[in-house]
Amino acid sequence: MAEQVSYTEDNIKSLSWKEHIRMRPGMYIGKLGDGKDADDGIYVLLKEVVDNSIDEHTMGNGKTIEVKIKDGEVRIRDYGRGIPLGKVVDCVSKINTGGKYDSRAFKKSVGLNGVGTKAVNALSQEFAVESFRNSEAKKAIFHLGELIEDSPIEATSKRTGTKITFRPDPEIFKTYKYRMEHVEKLLWNYVYLNTGLSIYLNGEKFTSENGLQDLLESSMDGNPRYPIIHLKKGDMELAVTHSDAYGEDIQSFVNGQYTPQGGTHQAAFRESYVRVIRDFFGKDYDTSDVRSGIVCAVSVKVEEPVFESQTKTKLGSTDMGPDGPTLKTFMFDFLKRELDNFLHRNPETAQALQARIIQNERERKDLAGIKKLARARAKKASLHNKKLRDCRVHLNEKKVRNEDSTLFITEGDSASGSITKARDVVSQAVFSLKGKPLNCHGLTKKVVYQNEEFNLLQSALNIEDGLDNLRYNKVVIATDADVDGMHIRLLLITFFLQFFPDLVKRGHLYVLQTPLFRVRNKKETIYCYDDEEKRAAMNKIGARAEITRFKGLGEISPDEFSHFIGEEMRIDPVVVGRDANVQDMLSFFMGKNTPDRQKFIIDNLRIEKDDAEESEEEQEELAV
């Protein structure tokens, strides 16, 4: 019989603002992480502070923001109006306190909940705020959200503005590290959306003259099919073109806030764009034909926006403001007026756009028969029973992707079997590859349907018609840490970059790290991911340590695998650098051999003693 638990007045507790944030940090900043992913908590802390400085700039106060990150400490200084000195402590330590409740002071802000800097304060080991205003200054210092120094107001000669310094609490953000590629992308987005603003990161200047046009030019792979269409008026800015790539690459923003999960504004744009294009050409083109290959950045300013979470990654508002039109109406009216006029004034661009649509239409019709056969093959192969060991809740009640779901792509039955037995059956699924995938660089999408492995993988992910119905939030490549495993990893990454680049760009693709060594004695077992960790483990355990070198995932037992795919799982995101051209990169590494690639292989080749007998071809793939 279950033990009866008493329920009295003693069970009722009231938490202070900082206690609640520290107990439930996910409610305020999403996942914690260690800094490997762009949406990890330490970047949300940074963003919450910078957002306030951006709001000041948007209201016409301050053109410069300085960001310094060193040894885990972050310092942000703006030159806006500064926090009113009598409210400095309240603004960073009292929930539901801030100037953004007064729409006269902040009409179109992203921080409307009065939480941002309070969460940063509560989750920081050290937090200091300084405000400079009307030749006076005020400073307050906190430790774990507790006020430890409240300095009096004093005279100053410093320029007006606010400076906040914080160090994330290592007890909450364990072994965290700021990765500059994530920080730089965040700051570039800010300056693209705020022309005239300069942000300095450790002295390096970030600025943009042409807004979203600069964003598209910096992020596009290859050349656009026609010159970027850049439209800007009032509360709307748009930069759009088409590329030769598959899928849709749409980056959306609300009040200067990047919304990687889209939302109502992005849905309104996608629908309105198709309607306007159909009206302009007088053709009832298929939706997929109009949008396939589109590369776009769209920004809208909304009064009192409502986001679906505190991290503000997805917009939920349906209107432009309390007294404004719906987002759909606003978006359609803007495109009907500005885009339609642009295409009439630029017939060559209109002709190139239509040519891309017609090409998409022709390819879609050519693939129709192949798709039908491919779906039949997938069904016959009993995909969800043989190739895919699915998880139980990859879809929630709303039929959208569950943010905690993961799909492991493994090689061979032994590795697949070990991961399958060790996984969390609720949120982790396993897809088993059969042999090495095809090198699909330079091939058309027809190969996705003709190749059984690609067809089944596409079906498992449910991405045939785009990422809207992607069944897993994380897609993790889990291959052996040897030459063949590296080769398979490269072939899979090539597949996704070639046909589903959105999957990579939106941060869904990862590579699983598995230990290379096991160091143990009768009392302790330590798993090591490189030689340095192995040496440290040997020093800790002592000379009588037993050392095992894992050659493949199949050698790791299910019991051991549970350590590597649980809470302490190490996964590296597949990140496309800002200056990287995907098609050029794929051509260099996965295309025909060239003298340049041969030189790269020779300059970068690393061979372990155990691999000395590997073939020249395998060594080449290892170098790549």
Mean pLDDT of 366-374: 78
106 pLDDT band, cuts 50/70/90, is very low
User: Given this model, what pLDDT does residue 398 score?
Assistant: 44
CA max distance for the chain = 80
Classify residue 446: in a domain, yes or no: yes
Residue with tokens 């300059």: 603
Do 351 and 462 belong together in one domain?
A: no
Q: Is the pLDDT of residue 580 over 50?
A: yes
Distance in angstroms (rounded) separating the CA atoms of residues 308 and 311:
8
User: Given this model, what pLDDT does residue 370 score?
Assistant: 81
Q: Is the pLDDT of residue 98 over 70?
A: no
Task: List the beta strands (DSSP E) in 13-115.
Answer: 64-70, 73-78
pLDDT tens digits, residue range 198-214?
Answer: 999 999 999 999 999 99
Work out the angle at residue 165's Cα, subtended by the Cα atoms of residues 159 and 171, and round it to the nearest 5 degrees. Answer: 175
- Comparison of pLDDT for 98 and 251, the residue scoring more: 251
Do 45 and 61 belong together in one domain?
A: yes
Range of weakest confidence among 90-94, 96-100, 424-428: 96-100
Classify residue 598: in a domain, yes or no: yes
> How many domains does the chain fold into?
5
Beta-carbon-side half-sphere exposure of residue 135 (alpha carbons within 13 Å): 0
Residue 544: which domain range?
Answer: 517-549
User: Given this model, what pLDDT does residue 341 score?
Assistant: 96
pLDDT tens digits, residue range 46-72?
Answer: 999 999 999 899 888 999 999 999 999
Range of weakest confidence among 249-253, 347-351, 389-393, 418-422: 389-393
End-of-domain residue from the set 180, 207, 234: 207
| H or E stretch covering 518 | strand 517-520
Q: What is the pTM of this model?
A: 0.76
Range of weakest confidence among 96-110, 147-161, 529-543: 96-110
User: Given this model, what pLDDT does residue 110 score?
Assistant: 52
DSSP lists the bridge partners of residue 475 as 407, 509
| H or E stretch covering 449 | helix 446-450
Range of weakest confidence among 136-140, 309-313, 333-337, 610-614: 610-614
Classify residue 12: in a domain, yes or no: no
Under a CB-based contact definition with an 8 Å cutoff, are residues 295 and 242 in contact? yes
175 pLDDT band, cuts 50/70/90, is confident
Do 173 and 253 belong together in one domain?
A: no
Q: Is the pLDDT of residue 613 over 70?
A: no
User: Given this model, what pLDDT does residue 623 score?
Assistant: 37
User: Given this model, what pLDDT does residue 609 score?
Assistant: 45
% pLDDT > 90, the chain:
41
Classify residue 223: in a domain, yes or no: yes
Residue with tokens 């649980």: 566
End-of-domain residue from the set 183, 207, 231: 207
394 pLDDT band, cuts 50/70/90, is low
Classify residue 376: in a domain, yes or no: no
Do 96 and 161 belong together in one domain?
A: yes
Q: What CATH number should be reported for the domain holding residue 290? A: 3.30.230.10
Do 138 and 234 belong together in one domain?
A: no
Distance in angstroms (rounded) separating the CA atoms of residues 50 and 199:
10
Helix (H, G, I), strand (E, B) or coil at 178: coil
Do 194 and 315 belong together in one domain?
A: no
Select, from the ranges 14-18, 251-255, 349-353, the one with the highest average predicted confidence (pLDDT). Answer: 349-353
Q: What CATH number should be reported for the domain holding residue 30? A: 3.30.565.10
Classify residue 244: in a domain, yes or no: yes
DSSP lists the bridge partners of residue 512 as 571
pLDDT tens digits, residue range 489-527?
Answer: 999 999 999 889 888 888 899 999 888 888 988 888 888
Under a CB-based contact definition with an 8 Å cutoff, are residues 317 and 301 in contact? no
Q: Is the pLDDT of residue 259 over 50?
A: yes
Classify residue 3: in a domain, yes or no: no
Token code pair at residue 603: 């300059």
Mean pLDDT of the chain: 84
Candidates 127, 203, 125, 204; CA nearest to 171 is: 125
618 pLDDT band, cuts 50/70/90, is very low
Do 239 and 332 belong together in one domain?
A: yes
User: Given this model, what pLDDT does residue 14 score?
Assistant: 61
- Comparison of pLDDT for 113 and 13, the residue scoring more: 13
Classify residue 11: in a domain, yes or no: no
Query: Environment class of residue 296 by beta-carbon count within 10 Å: exposed (0-12), middle (13-18) or buried (19+)?
Result: buried
Do 129 and 236 belong together in one domain?
A: no
Do 430 and 571 belong together in one domain?
A: yes
User: Given this model, what pLDDT does residue 121 score?
Assistant: 92
Do 109 and 249 belong together in one domain?
A: no
Do 186 and 80 belong together in one domain?
A: yes
Distance in angstroms (rounded) separating the CA atoms of residues 514 and 530:
10
Do 226 and 146 belong together in one domain?
A: no
